[in-house]
Amino acid sequence: MVKIAPSLLSANFNNLEHDIRKIERAGADYLHLDIMDGKFVPNITFGPVVVKGLSAISMLPLDVHLMIYEPEKFVEEFTKIGAHIVTIQYEATPHLDRVLNLVKDLGAIPSVAINPATPIECIYPVLPIVKQVLIMSVNPGFGGQTFIPYCLEKIKALKKYIQDNNLQVDIEVDGGVTEANAKQIVAAGVEVLVAGSAVFGSTDINKTIAVLKAL
Ligand code: DX5
Ligand code: ZN
C-alpha cells in the first residue's frame, strides 16, 4: 500500500496541532516538513525550533525535507530533535555522499531529493547509501503548483534502475499530487506520496487520504 506524507506547508498555521491530529486520524504515514532557507529556494518556512515543537506533538514520523544550502550544518540538529527521515537536495551540496552518510551515522534515514530539471542518473551513485529518493515534481519552494508531466519518466527510469540493481530504496514524489493524477504516479512506481494542498485543502481529509492510500 502506498504511504501518504501530508506536507504541513498547506496546513493551517494558526492551529497546527489540530491539523496534525486530523491527518493522524485519517491514516497518514509521515508528517512531511518543508524546510526552506530563502536561498536554495525562493521562500522561507521554519527551522529547528518549530520542528522540535512539532516533534513533541506529532505521533507520525517526521519526514524532513531540507531545501537549504549547506545542509551539513543542520543535519545533526534535525536528527537530535526527532527527524525520522532527512532528505538532502542533490543540488544543494557539492558533498552529497558525505552529508548522506552523516545522516545515516546520526541514526536517521537518509534520503536524497532531485529537482525536476536534474537528470535522474545524477543520483544513481548514492542509491546504496539512501533508503528513499524524493522526486520533486514541481520546482521546490511553494505548495499548490502543478505536477510537471516529464517527472513521470524519471520515476519510471529510477524504478527500473532500483529493480535491476536489487536496491532497497523507496521512491517518494513531491509536488502537484492530486486525487486525479495520483493513480498514474503510483503506477509509475512510487511508494510514498507527498501531498500538501490535496490533503489540507480537501473538504474531507479522511476520504482524500483513503482514496490516495487505496491506489
Ligand atoms: C514544495 C514542497 C512540497 C509542497 C507540496 O517545494 O517540497 O512538499 O508542500 O505541496 P503540494 O502538494 O500542494 O504541491
Ligand atoms: Zn517537500
Mean pLDDT value of segment 135-163? 98
Q: Which of 10, 137, 147, 178 to mutate to test the pocket of ligand 1 (most atoms within 8 A of CB)?
A: 10
| Residue-level pLDDT at 64 | 99
- Indicate which residues carry an active-site annotation: 34, 174
Mean pLDDT value of segment 164-183? 98
- Helix ranges (H only) for 94-188 are 96-105, 151-164, 182-187
| Residue-level pLDDT at 181 | 98
**Closest ligand to the CA of 177:** 1
Question: pLDDT for 176-207, tens place per residue?
Answer: 999 999 999 999 999 999 999 999 999 999 99
Ligand 1 pocket check for 37: Cβ under 6 Å: no
| Residue-level pLDDT at 12 | 98
Can you state the angle between helices 16-25 and 205-213, rounded to 10 degrees?
50
Tell if the pTM clears 0.95, that is, is over it: yes
CA gap 139, 97 in Å, rounded: 23
Ligand 1 pocket check for 202: Cβ under 6 Å: no
